[in-house]
Amino acid sequence: MQRFFIGLLAVVLFPILGNAQNVKDKIQWKFAIEKSATANEYFVTATAQLQPGWHVFGQEPGDEFLIPTHFAFENDDCKLLKTEEKGKLKTEDMEGVGTIHYYEKEVNFVATVRSLEKEISGYIEFQVCNATMCLPPTEEKFTLTLQ
């Protein structure tokens, strides 16, 4: 009986855990930081490269139930001033969902931040989808050293 439950648990959890691990197969992130002309301000860039057939939502994905891509910073003194998206934004009317906004192939999310610290840590939260499904929302952590 115990083997049955262990087997059942494996059958249920394996696809869930497999999908969570597959997120990194669908999207790759690179992070960089650059000094602004304004004192104590920096540009934090998160570049997403997506596999064909997959997309990531922008900051305003459209439907209220979709997960927007956004930055979160862990430093106490790091203040997010604004975030810009640089890429080819696609807009689509999706049956049952409404109008959605997303990026394919590559997009840069550029956060302007103010910080007095020499190191900025945080994460970008995002969700990748294809034409038939979305993977669970995921966070990609980063730590960048100011120069």
E strand intervals along 62-118: 70-73, 79-94, 98-114
Higher pLDDT, 47 or 96: 47
Q: What is the pLDDT of the chain when averaged over all its residues?
A: 85
The residues that bridge with 102 in the sheet, in sequence order, are 57, 90
E strand or H helix at 7: helix 2-26
The predicted structure's pLDDT at residue 5 = 36
Rounded to a whole number of angstroms, the distance between the first and last alpha carbons of the chain is: 60
Higher pLDDT, 58 or 31: 31
Helix, strand, coil % over all residues of the chain, rounded to 5: 15, 55, 30
- The yes-or-no verdict on residue 3 having pLDDT over 90 is no
- The yes-or-no verdict on residue 85 having pLDDT over 80 is yes
- Closest Cα partner for 73 from 2, 35, 124, 22? 124
Instruction: Give the mean pLDDT of 56-82.
Output: 90
Label residue 93 by pLDDT band (50, 70, 90). confident
- The yes-or-no verdict on residue 96 having pLDDT over 90 is no
How far apart, in whole angstroms, are the C-alpha atoms of residue 127 and residue 137?
5
User: What's this model's pTM, rounded to 2 decimal places?
Assistant: 0.81
Instruction: Give the mean pLDDT of 109-128.
Output: 94
Q: By mean pLDDT, which of 11-15, 98-102, 104-108, 113-117 is the weakest?
A: 11-15
Give the phi and the psi of residue 6 in degrees, each rounded to 5: -65, -40
Instruction: Give the mean pLDDT of 51-70.
Output: 89
Label residue 81 by pLDDT band (50, 70, 90). very high
The predicted structure's pLDDT at residue 4 = 34
